Structure 1
Amino acid sequence: MTTIAFLGAGSVVFTRDLLTDLLAYDDLPDLTIRLHDIDPERLETAEGIARATARLSGADPTITAHLDRREALSGADFVVNSIQVGGYPATVVDLEVPARFGLRQTIGDTVGVGGIFRALRTFPVLAAIAQDVLELCPDAWFLNYTNPMAMNIAYLHAVAPRLKAVGLCHSVYWTVRGLSDLVGVPFDEVTYRSAGVNHQAWILTWEHDGQDLYPRLDERIAGDPELRRRVRVDMYRHLGRYPTESSEHSAEYLPWYMHHDAEVERLRIPVGDYLQISRDNVAEYEETRRRLRAGEDIGTREHEAQEYAPQIIHSIVTGVPRDIVVNVPNAGLIDGVPAAFTAEVPAVVDGRGVHPQAMGALPPQLLAVNAAYIGTGTLTVRAAVEGDPRLVRQAAMVDANTSATLTVGEIWDLCNTMVEAHGELLAPALRAQVHP
């Protein structure tokens, strides 16, 4: 029997997609799916979706729902984590408070002020979860989807180094798939290698039948002015390798775009876009819950999913090897990235587990761009581990977009305002108002 605990199962559409992939395997018998959420209504909805997904898949797993996290974790083989601490109200704070200071963000979940505070309110919950896992299912693989990915994995490594934590993100897959479509080459015929940090890694090689596909991309870009109005196409043209995250995300990790009105217009950057995305997610949840209560079809996902958690579970249980992309502590995987911070690299997964691949040195300009991201993430993790509120402000000071937009004094004032707004979601040691 294989037992999988889903934490944050109330992210119902995401839970459905993961289960759809998982239950598509016909050689994973005796699956036990345990769903956990702190919101009873969302948990009830997640359970309904899980049972409907199983019926549609023709599978018969054991499905249970648990408000008690420890009950869900006991004896689990795999833990899939997709919690969102603070939910939609906290997301509003992460975007609207910085906007009042003149700081533009698009998503605000990875670095920047939004990413810093999303991390700081997530860390205490992650620490408690890690303690439970190490007590109740110490051999379980902890498969994390919660952002900010790089900071969360680095924090878990700092406070629970024995935890078998792996961060999973689909950005590399969808980037290469999109690029392959762009140049008219079947995705399943290309080979590629990427490395960097989550949401800011780089497609280092990308080939078809041994031929480099970057020249074909150059031709495509040269012939299409609209392609040149994408942030990550602009990044690629100036840096020489294509970044692995969407333009919406990428724009706010850099100092060149968000505080220039002309660049926002030229590159069509959707400032504050995540608030509407979050509202749409809430509306989708409400509609899904209504359909369940009415006994209606809950629908299926709109695109082919290639999430890594089901692939990892299948490979470890059956021994079938696969190539995936993972986020793990660097430990020599990428030259120049701190050992304790998180690298995003290729990995092989098989019956023995997950095996990250060392990538050596990045092109120097790419590592230089990663440096601000890494600096912000490293300082944020250290602030939480040491309980030092000054490090929170210093993390914001070295963030690329924030430092390009605000003065040092404004950054500290903004952080104090964010601390007040998030209140008890933060660890007690980090709730202080701090001045230089």
Structure 2
Amino acid sequence: MPQIVFLGAGSVVFTRQLLSDLFRFDDLPDLRIVLHDINPERLDVAHATADQLVSRFGRTAEIVATLDRRDALTGADFVINMIQVGGIDATRVDLELPAAAGLRQTIGDTTGVGGVFRALRTFPVLSAIASDMRELCPDAWFLNYTNPMAMNVWWMSQVAPELKVVGLCHSVYWTVHDLCELIGVPMEGTHYRAAGVNHQAWLTELSRDGKDLYPKLRAAIEADPELRRRVRVEIFSRIGFYPTETSEHSSEYLPWFLHSDEQIERYRLRPLEYIGISEENVAEFEHAKATLAAGGELELEEGAAEYAPQVIHSILTGTERVIHANVVNRGLIGNLPEGAVVEVPARVDSEGVHPLPFGDVPTQGAALNRSYLSVAELTIEAARTGNPERVRQAVLADPNAASSLTPEQIWALCDDMTAAHADLLPVSLGGRLEQ
């Protein structure tokens, strides 16, 4: 019986979506689903959610919930990682402390000072997971959803290069889905291809029946002045290829938007937006808990959209499909650094996930990608060497931070962030976490 482990299963909404997508495949074998979280209350809700979905979809599955990570990982075939180290309290720090210093972020979980510190507190847990997996399930696939995506997958390639690690993010799919809606073209049958880095890949192909759809997109933008007030559309107009993540995420990768009140207003950005999103997730957890306690049915989204269920389905059934995946750049993109983590198309079949060589991404896109990869590389080096100067240099290399703060202010902010996150950071980087 294949065993699928959910780490951070207390992310109840996400766990619900992944399980419902998985159970919609009617040709899968019986599964053993193991749910792990460090929060007992959230784990109980995740367990009740899984039990309800097994019943609603008429599946035969063994559902196990455990607070012990090693118990969860023993004998795993697939490990889905959704952990959020520090939870909503750490998220507030990542956004509010920089904002008080004059550095505005919208999401703060992938790049910039928020992404750097989120990575630094996640790496020790990833190292422990990797150690457990080497011992307890060395052949399992590690399917990562936790942000910062590229940094986390890159870190795993450093501490456990022998493990099979793939980063999964559905931003490419949803970008194409939304563009198809915008230009009035069915998603099914539309061909697309993208590459770059997570949350900043470039849609280099968008076509249907051999016909390029970019002219239709440009016409739709030209006809709607409000579309031209979106960050992604501005990036598209300057770079020539559409970026594959929301305007909120995209704004943080560049120095063009968040440093200026006028730009924030013009492009309809909402600094600190992720705090509200996180609070909505907490409210949704409470709603799910109350619904389950009352014997009600949870609301489900339609369609097998998330990649992890598709990867599992392909490996277990041999069904071939192409997804976009975050993997180590080993000859995949020629004009991005070798060894960095990039996002490229990948074929999935019974043998696993096979990244497809892409060639070069557009030069102007690669130039922007390298800015992010520099932040990521310095963050990795900071954690690997225990050098706190590299933490500050990582933030200094971030275009948004450098457009808003002086070097002296960046150093002071990193001191404050280190103090605020001390319980979750290694001693070598100024924290209190013994490793």
Query: TM-score under structure 1 normalisation?
Result: 0.98
Instruction: Note the C-alpha offset of 1:111.
Output: 0.4
RMSD of equivalent CA atoms: 1.0
Give the aligned partner of residue 218 of structure 1: 218
Using the alignment, how far apart are the partners of 2:431 and 2:273 within structure 1? Answer: 30
Using the alignment, how far apart are the partners of 1:211 and 1:292 within structure 2? Answer: 49
Matched, 1:141 2:141: yes
Instruction: Note the C-alpha offset of 1:299.
Output: 2.1
CA contact (8 A) 1:144 1:165 kept: yes
Matched, 1:106 2:106: yes
Give the aligned partner of residue 202 of structure 2: 202
CA contact (8 A) 2:304 2:310 kept: no
Aligned counterparts, 1:25-424, within 5 A = 25-301=25-301, 303-424=302-423
CA contact (8 A) 1:113 1:396 kept: yes
* Paired residue total: 432
The one-letter code matched in structure 2 to 1:325 is: H
Cα shift readout 1:138-160 (whole Å, capped 9, x = no counterpart): 00000000000000000000111
The one-letter code matched in structure 2 to 1:417 is: D
The one-letter code matched in structure 2 to 1:234 is: E
CA contact (8 A) 1:389 1:432 kept: no
Using the alignment, how far apart are the partners of 2:122 and 2:345 within structure 1? Answer: 26
Using the alignment, how far apart are the partners of 1:304 and 1:286 within structure 2? Answer: 25
Cα shift readout 1:252-305 (whole Å, capped 9, x = no counterpart): 11001101111110110111100000001001101111111122222223x545
Cα shift readout 1:101-132 (whole Å, capped 9, x = no counterpart): 00000000000000000000000000000110
Question: Secondary structure at the residue paired with 2:346?
Answer: strand
CA contact (8 A) 2:21 2:303 kept: no
CA contact (8 A) 2:421 2:431 kept: no
Using the alignment, how far apart are the partners of 1:219 and 1:48 within structure 2? Answer: 49
Higher mean C-alpha deviation, range 55-64 or range 108-117 = 55-64
Query: TM-score under structure 2 normalisation?
Result: 0.98
Instruction: Note the C-alpha offset of 1:11.
Output: 0.3
Percent identity over the alignment is 57
CA contact (8 A) 1:319 1:350 kept: yes
Using the alignment, how far apart are the partners of 1:384 and 1:290 within structure 2? Answer: 41
Question: Secondary structure at the residue paired with 1:337?
Answer: coil
Question: Secondary structure at the residue paired with 1:324?
Answer: strand
Using the alignment, how far apart are the partners of 1:318 and 1:275 within structure 2? Answer: 40
Using the alignment, how far apart are the partners of 1:410 and 1:331 within structure 2? Answer: 37
Using the alignment, how far apart are the partners of 1:43 and 1:94 within structure 2? Answer: 25
CA contact (8 A) 1:36 1:67 kept: yes
CA contact (8 A) 1:331 1:339 kept: yes
Using the alignment, how far apart are the partners of 1:224 and 1:128 within structure 2? Answer: 50
Cα shift readout 1:226-249 (whole Å, capped 9, x = no counterpart): 110110001000110000000011
Question: Secondary structure at the residue paired with 2:175?
Answer: helix
Question: Secondary structure at the residue paired with 2:34?
Answer: strand
Using the alignment, how far apart are the partners of 1:274 and 1:304 within structure 2? Answer: 26
CA contact (8 A) 2:66 2:72 kept: yes
Cα shift readout 1:382-415 (whole Å, capped 9, x = no counterpart): 1111111110000000001001110000000000
Using the alignment, how far apart are the partners of 2:118 and 2:180 within structure 1? Answer: 33
Question: Secondary structure at the residue paired with 1:285?
Answer: helix
Instruction: Note the C-alpha offset of 1:83.
Output: 0.3
The one-letter code matched in structure 2 to 1:320 is: T
Question: Secondary structure at the residue paired with 2:188?
Answer: helix
Instruction: Note the C-alpha offset of 1:432.
Output: 6.2
Matched, 1:10 2:2: no
CA contact (8 A) 2:422 2:431 kept: no
Using the alignment, how far apart are the partners of 2:44 and 2:204 within structure 1? Answer: 44
The one-letter code matched in structure 1 to 2:373 is: I
The one-letter code matched in structure 1 to 2:7 is: L
Question: Secondary structure at the residue paired with 1:349?
Answer: strand
Give the aligned partner of residue 429 of structure 2: 430
The one-letter code matched in structure 2 to 1:136 is: L
Extract unaligned runs of 5+ from structure 1. none
Instruction: Note the C-alpha offset of 1:418.
Output: 0.2
Using the alignment, how far apart are the partners of 2:335 and 2:205 within structure 1? Answer: 20
CA contact (8 A) 1:158 1:340 kept: no
Which runs of 4 or more aligned residues in structure 1 lie more than 2 Å from their structure 2 counterparts after TM superposition?
none
CA contact (8 A) 2:36 2:43 kept: yes
The one-letter code matched in structure 2 to 1:82 is: M
Using the alignment, how far apart are the partners of 2:206 and 2:41 within structure 1? Answer: 45
CA contact (8 A) 1:91 1:275 kept: yes
The one-letter code matched in structure 2 to 1:318 is: T
The one-letter code matched in structure 2 to 1:271 is: P
CA contact (8 A) 2:425 2:431 kept: no
